[in-house]
Structure 1
Amino acid sequence: MSVGRQLTGTQYQQGTLAGTDARAYLHEMWRSACAYCGATGVPLNIDHVRPRSRGGSDRISNHVLACVPCNKAKGNLPVDVFLAHRPDRLAQILAQPDHRFATPLP
């Protein structure tokens, strides 16, 4: 998803996040840093933890902030493959609410 694009869908119109801007929520949750490398002060995209092409949803719980280089490098890789060399970051992402389902179940 590109910088500045509004997220839409029923999950943003109803429920616990009603009236909350998804981008603002993610900036608060990730402290305006890339979830994958921790970069700050750079443009951040909204990325699907579990890519839509691999069955991921558009729910806010499946989104993180990602800097452009990380977003491009991850592409549609599963997050556990992309962060295999960064188990600390993977654990941090999967510890967030509902991200434990971001990787395919065995």
Structure 2
Amino acid sequence: MAYGTALAVLADPTRRQVFERLREGPRPVNRIAHGLPVSRPAVSQHLKVLKDAGLVEERSEGVRRIYSLRREGLMELREWLDSFWGDALDAFKLEAERSYKAKKRDK
């Protein structure tokens, strides 16, 4: 899954709420849907999109489907976001070195 897919899928506020409810652990659709301003079938559709994006997985438990986060699905997004820290730190290091050299020259 590309990080762009994760960003696009999680851009929807309702889908993000569905996703965040799974942080607390695996749950069936009815528990995920409880209290949301959308119907249970709508939550099921959001779960399908999350599953297709590799962010959620499901397992059968009798007649119920239990959904849980696929933390691996977030790894590419996390690596992409982490790359910004590396770039920022590299830029900070270069600026600090330039500043240090400029001060030495001015003495």
- Tell me the TM-score normalised to structure 2 length: 0.31
Which structure's relative contact order is higher, taking Cα pairs within 8 Å and 6+ residues apart? 2
User: Computing the radius of gyration over CA atoms, which structure comes out larger, 1 or 2?
Assistant: 2
Q: Which TM-score applies when normalising by structure 1?
A: 0.31
Which structure has greater helix proportion? 2
